[in-house]
Structure 1
Amino acid sequence: MKFRILFALFNSVIVAAFALIVLMPALVLGWEYSQIFWSGNWPVAIVFAAVLGGLNTYFGINWRLFTLLEREDWQGLIEHLELKILVKNRLGKQRLRVLINAYVVTGASDKITELEIRLREIDSAWVSRFPLEFGIPYLLKNDASAMERFFGEMKERSDCPEPVWVRWNYGFALILQQKLDEARAVLMSIADETKNPVQQLLIAYLLDSASAHDESARSTVGKLRSALQSRYKGERWERELERQRSGLQVLVLSKLIGDASRWAFGPGAI
């Protein structure tokens, strides 16, 4: 209901604003001069009508999607999007993102893996556009070798977004398999590439476990940890974590982030 009300209000405001623009010359200059004004500026009205029509067409096409989201009907949403994507092959970044989020909300991580397999059959480029989302099942299962293969592939893709997170996940997979030298090299390569405090924390936390005999790595750990401690005091770190919890990667790694926070800030950190 809220979505429909907002949609109606949006159209009402836009139409009212357009009517005011159309009538303003007549109110200020009179009808005779307004006709002269609009005879030379009629393309403005055409552009406005086209934009309004385009927006309404977009909402019309996605009406069921928005309605299901508003009702939080996750199963209905999944069925709707699976029909669009898996049956009709109507791919799109928005649809894929919403479908993966719906799988996460309903705890259907195996469905994410099935979707990955299906997209690889259609066009594997779609998988590399969502590396963190499709990496969720590997993180949840703690399958280190599969995690290494997946993120190892993703980090080589030039079109892959979130490269720091992708390489951190790859380094994490190496740590889990006790491939400490390889993991250390990966983590050191991204230590200076990010200003994201959560990424800095996790890089330092993993490096700490792989830097026993490496002075350079130990120095990097110390610098990252000290910088975080000086910048985030008291409740500020909790607020930063809360701000980033909307991201699936941070959500999935919440337990590890909690352990790392206590390591960096003390037992009462979170």
Structure 2
Amino acid sequence: MRFKSIFWLFNIVVILALVLISTASFFILEKDSAAMFWGNMWLLLVIFVLMITTLDFYFIRNWRLFSYLEQEDWPALLAWLEERLYEKGKINRPYANLLINTALSVSNLDAVKKLETEIRQRKPELMKFLGVSLGIPVLLEQNWSAVADYFNPLAEDPKTKRRDWALWCRALASGGKGVEDLMILVRGKDPSVRLLSLQILDQCKTELTDNQLEELENVRTTLRTILKGAAGERVLQRSREDHLMAVVLSSRVNEVRKDLLGTSSVSGI
């Protein structure tokens, strides 16, 4: 397996390098110079060995994690993560993020809901970092009153990571009552959020002022330029890499982009 090969190759190279430096110093330098060399270098060597030992310990400790990732064995990885998080009590952002991604990849929404419950009870401070991703099952169930209740606290908290997605989810659930939020989002940085906000605003044009309608047309023109052809697809790919919500809603985003550009423009270069 590649992971095991890299691990052993790394350690072999490190050991050979240490042996080479040790022997070369005695062959190249005179006896007194070699003794002086090691007298000055021993502390650095100890620090180096400690760093390598720590790195090896980390890899060995997470050996199963890397093995499951390499094998793409998502059910086994999910089970391992749940054991680490719940039975061993190691609830932290990296493991939680990985569990959310893994659970959604195998369509296990219950695993995400369980994680949300555990975090609210045991590590509520993580909600501002993970709350938007943890709300994906709520959004997918399309119970709009539950969606509004879930995302409203996240949308109100300026410390929420990727608050723009929380604002969009709340606006979607409000049935067009979040026009002010949507007008801000449609001018934001994330192209996926901008497209989806544009879609909702198009559906409630009768509630917009003349200035808002004019601004919407300017946004539409800008998005057509940004999202045209292969360059536009790369822009959306970066958005999907930036947050899991963009991945889950990618089909909807692509439909809005298709309507914005026209079928021929989407497939063009």
Give TM-score, length-normalised by structure 1.
0.87
Q: Matches of 2:23 and 2:214 in 1, distance apart?
A: 69
Q: Confirm or deny: 8 A CA contact 1:68 1:74 kept in the other structure.
A: yes
Shift of the alpha carbon at 1:90?
A: 1.4
Query: Cα distance 1:198–1:44, how it changes in 2: closer, same or farther (>3 A)?
Result: same
- Aligned residues of 1:211 and 1:217 also touching (Cα < 8 A): no
Other structure's SS at 1:205 match: helix
* Correspondence for 2:37: 37
Distance 1:209 1:20, change over 3 A: farther
Whole-Å Cα distance in 2 between the matches of residues 206 and 30 of structure 1? 79
Farther off after superposition, 136-145 or 157-166: 157-166
Which residue is equivalent to 1:218?
Answer: 213
Q: Residues 73-112 of structure 1 correspond to what in structure 2 (within 5 A)?
A: 73-112=73-112
Name 2:253's counterpart in structure 1: 257
Shift of 1:119: 1.8
Separation (CA, whole Å) in 2 of partners of 1:21 and 1:216: 72
Would you say the 8 A contact 1:129–1:161 is kept in 2?
Answer: yes
Question: Whose helix fraction is larger, Structure 1's or Structure 2's?
Answer: 2
Tell me the residue number matched to 1:200: 194
CA distance in 1 between partners of 2:218 and 2:166 (Å) = 23
Q: Which residue of 1 aligns with 2:15?
A: 15
Deviation larger for 32-41 or 208-217 = 208-217
RMSD of aligned residue pairs (Cα, Å): 2.3
Seen in structure 2, the aligned counterparts of structure 1 residues 226 and 98 have a Cα distance that, compared at 3 Å, is: same
Structure 2 CA distance, aligned partners of 1:30 and 1:132? Answer: 64
Deviations 1:165-196 (A, max 9, x none): 2222222222xxx2x2x31111123344x333
Matches within 5 A, 1:122-141: 122-141=122-141
Residue type at the aligned position of 2:198: A
CA distance in 1, matches of 2:38, 2:170: 61
Question: Match of 1:204, as an amino acid?
Answer: L
The 1-side partners of 2:68 and 2:52 are apart by 24
Aligned to 2:226: 231
Residues 69 and 234 of structure 1: is their aligned pair in 2 closer, same or farther, counting only changes over 3 Å?
A: closer
- Does the residue aligned with 1:89 lie in a helix, a strand or coil? coil
What is the letter of the counterpart of residue 252 of structure 1?
V
Query: Do 2:96 and 2:115's aligned partners in 1 also have CA atoms closer than 8 Å?
Result: no
Matching residue's letter, 2:249: L
SS at 1:155 equivalent: helix
Gaps of 5+ in 2: none
State the distance in 1 between where 2:154 and 2:89 align: 23
In 2 relative to 1, CA 20–92 (structure 1 residues): closer, same or farther, beyond 3 Å? farther
Give identity over the alignment, percent: 28
Deviations 1:115-144 (A, max 9, x none): 211221112222332123201102211222
Specify which of 257, 262, 265 is matched with residue 266 of structure 1: 262
Q: Which residue of 2 aligns with 1:184?
A: 179
Tell me: CA distance 1:198–1:19, structure 2 relative to 1, closer, same or farther (3 Å): farther
**Per the alignment, in what secondary structure is the counterpart of residue 132 of structure 1?**
helix
Change (3 A) 1:223 1:4: same
TM-score, normalised with respect to structure 2: 0.87
How far off is 1:245 after superposition?
A: 3.6
